[in-house]
Amino acid sequence: MAMATPMAPRSTFAIFLILLLRSGHSPAAAFYLPGSYPHRYRPGEALAAKVNSLTSPSSKLPFPYYSLPFCAPQGGVNRAAESLGELLLGDRIETSPYRFSMLKNATAFLCRTDPLPPATADLLMSRIDDAYHVNLLLDTLPVVRYVKNLAAPGVFVRSTGFPVGVRADDGEYYVYNHLKLTVLVNKPRNGTTRAEALMATADAVELISFAGGSKDGGGYTVVGFEVVPCSVEHDAAAIKGKKMYDELPARAAAGCDPSVVGMRVRANRPLVFSYEVAFVESGVEWPSRWDAYLEMGGAKVHWFSILNSIVVVAFLAAILLVILLRTVRRDLAQYDENGGEAGLAPQADELAGWKLVAGDVFREPAHPVLLCVMVGDGVRILAMAVATILFAALGFMSPASRGALVTGMLGIYLLLGFAAGYAAVRLWKTVRHGDSAGWKRVAWRASCAFPGAGFAVFTALNCVLWYNGSTGAVPFLLFAVILLLWAFVSVPLTLAGGLVASRVGHLEYPVKTNKIARQVPAAQCSPWVFVAVAGTLPFGTLFIELLFIMSSLWLGRVYYVFGFLLVVMALLVAVCGEVSVVLTYMGLCVEDWRWWWRAFFASGSVAAYTLGYAVYYLVFDLHSLSGPVSAALYVGYSLLMALAVMLATGAVGLAASFAFVYYLFSAVKLD
């Protein structure tokens, strides 16, 4: 017992590392934390599927499910309660007519629509042309469809949702009006899964029964939801007089073959909808049910990305080691042998390089307010990214909680206003040699700069979505809520951070700054050329993960290997700092003391390559993107992403260069 106390921190740290590493290769392993329990269904208990917005891989405009002539539930359409993140992502979850009972296989009639007006028929055909998909949800699980891979016979490709319809070779349009649904269920042995037992006993409480009161401890959990969409021309006699949920004979849907179409879309003709459901017991346990959705594949590619980044980090670290241990120490030793400032005049010719700019190296940079604001916003964005990725890697942002990632990211960003204000005003006070006058202006601009740019882009794109009637448009009430959160949470915290920074002691420079600036010698090559090239090294660390992130954002694929992403983020920070330090030292060696902005953009130039990659991705991977509205959405959000990358990486580069320059000139003895 006496040794338990000192071992506790080590065991806690070990658990943290295990969770983090497992989140890299087994995403679902970290999802279900204590307090998150499954819903158990008894045989015969009702299940109700829900519908989300219609989405398309070629058009980035989601539309309401009931904007097309589908069957509505008997009790009317009701909206589900949605989180802030779901609304921002364009989700509109509503009730659907697809209802069934646990373990009861059935084939049921849904409805026969009114004859389609020509405008409605044209809209339906337009949605089919744009490859819009229906997104069903059952117990928070999206419906999955398996289709044959034409490039590899015998291999099936998994995708969420199913198409509204298809355009046949004869040019006619057909709607998928019959769904062959399969619900995968699991009944744990002894009534409780191992994961449930662990969750229930995590805090040393007694085992909780999940049986819902049943004596046998039974009950089934939903662990999968699959669909085979069909276009079936129903026999008029078989559906005559049928009402919703009336049983259909099995032969009524005998023609359910995805390769055969039958329900043609024509003006002034009705559509008939039906479905069949089958329940299949599965060995997949409830905590692992998301694995089928989150298997991104390409684990070797992620490891290659990390190893590639480690090589770059080691290479740059070796360069820094040479600079610090050989060049700098040798120069300092020679400088001390010359007697400091006493020997400076007779040895001026031998002291060409960074030592000659000691009186100017800490001179106030051009546009200091702008630099401080950009660094403050960069610190905020970087801290938000690290915190969000860390929480997601540990499983606090489960995909079962739709929109949790966006909601958490927005909340963390608002709370980190304090960090933005503190960093901006702290840097302002440093470059002003301890003078904090004007800190309110710096803090206020830090609270408005990046949020203002993001709000301008967001508002412009939201107006476009409003005009097109898309569910991606943020409602006006939510728009007002976001503004209020910024005004009453973000701004006060930013000003509070600035106030604290203005009252703490400032950092004393190791050398004094001359009153007259030293003339910078003419350079054979512009230093900004090296700054532009320097961005290739951080981009080399980032671009492989960037491919997966872009696929998640624009192709509807799920990204949940946050363990890998956290490691890549750490390596990116290291590369940005090292690149900036190397370029700063190169500039000082040619007696150019104007290092502040170059240090920022040496690492921040990775944003230009990120934007270039976004253009490449649009041309070669999103070639199916259709319409100017979708292109405007892509360009607008890509610009915003590049700006955020520039601010975050630039802040890292400037902080690393400042620490290097401060250390370097702390060893120089000047009055």
Measured N-to-C along each axis, helices 562-589 and 596-604 cross at an angle, to the nearest 10 degrees, of: 150
CB-CB contact of 359 with 514 (8 Å): yes
Higher pLDDT, 402 or 330: 402
Let me know whether 321 and 431 are in one domain: no
Confidence class for position 269, pLDDT limits 50, 70, 90: very high
Let me know whether 116 and 244 are in one domain: yes
Q: How many domains does the chain have?
A: 3
Average pLDDT score over the chain = 82
**Lowest-pLDDT range, 60-69, 77-86, 415-424?**
77-86
Let me know whether 491 and 632 are in one domain: no
* pTM to 2 decimal places: 0.83
* Integer CA distances (angstroms), 388 to 7, 380, 381, 405, 554, in order: 29, 12, 10, 8, 20
Let me know whether 583 and 658 are in one domain: yes
Indicate whether 267 belongs to any domain: yes
Q: How far apart are CA 447 and CA 494, in angstroms?
A: 6
Q: In which domain, by residue range, is 614 found?
A: 296-330+525-670
What tokens were used for 210?
Answer: 């999940």
b (16+ CB within 10 A) / e for 474-504: beeeeeeebeebbeeebbebbbebbbebbee
Please count the residues of the chain: 671
Indicate whether 28 belongs to any domain: no
Higher pLDDT, 441 or 401: 441
Let me know whether 439 and 500 are in one domain: yes
Indicate whether 103 belongs to any domain: yes
pLDDT digits (tens, 9 = 90+) for 285-337: 888 888 877 765 555 666 777 787 788 778 877 877 777 666 666 666 666 66
Let me know whether 396 and 320 are in one domain: no
Indicate whether 486 belongs to any domain: yes
Let me know whether 276 and 304 are in one domain: no
Let me know whether 607 and 643 are in one domain: yes
Indicate whether 536 belongs to any domain: yes
Q: Please state whether beta strands 178-186 and 272-281 pair in parallel, antiparallel, or not at all (unpaired).
A: parallel
pLDDT digits (tens, 9 = 90+) for 78-115: 988 777 878 888 888 999 999 999 999 999 999 999 99
- Res 495: pLDDT: 96
Indicate whether 592 belongs to any domain: yes
Let me know whether 274 and 318 are in one domain: no
Let me know whether 545 and 468 are in one domain: no
Task: State what percent of residues in the chain have pLDDT above 90.
Answer: 44
| Angle at CA of residue 670, ends 666 and 671, nearest 5° | 125
